[in-house]
Amino acid sequence: MAIIDDRAIKFSNEKLRPYAELMRKCRHEFETVIAEWNGGINALFPNEVDNIIEDGRTSENPLSGADANSLITRMTNRLTAIDDDAEMIVINKACVRKLEVI
């Protein structure tokens, strides 16, 4: 039975497809960042909370080496969750625009 309800079609076109494209883009960008991290940049970020990244920000939320390591771990976990062939088949199927990366 076909889904013909205008609300369903609008939701698919305005939410499902764009977010599938975002997931595909995140996958690519996470792979790129993780490869750079594992390529040696990780050595610059000791996994310690007292090693603060001095980037000139006057933020109340300074990042530490431990935070950087934690962010990479989270990217890796997200990548693992969608990097399955079956997952990517569904994600790619919903994508209409070609992948654009910077």
In this prediction, residue 101 carries a pLDDT of 66
Written in H, E and C, the secondary structure of the chain is CCCCCHHHHHHHHHHHHHHHHHHHHHHHHHHHHHHHHHCCHHHHCCCCCCCECCCCCCCCCCCEHHHHHHHHHHHHHHHHHHCCHHHHHHHHHHCCCCCCCC
pTM, two decimal places? 0.78
| pLDDT at residue 51, as a whole number | 92
pLDDT at 91: 85
pLDDT at 26 over 80: yes
User: Which residue, among 41, 34, 45, 38, has the nearest Cα to 79 in the 3D structure?
Assistant: 34
What's residue 102's pLDDT? 62
What is the reported pLDDT for 11? Answer: 96
Residue 14 has pLDDT above 80, yes or no: yes
pLDDT at 64: 93
pLDDT in tens, 28-85: 999 999 999 999 999 999 999 999 999 888 777 889 999 999 999 999 998 888 777 7
44-82 core/surface letters (b: 16 or more CB in 10 A; e: else): ebeeeeebeeeeeeeeeeebbbbbbbeebeebbeebeee
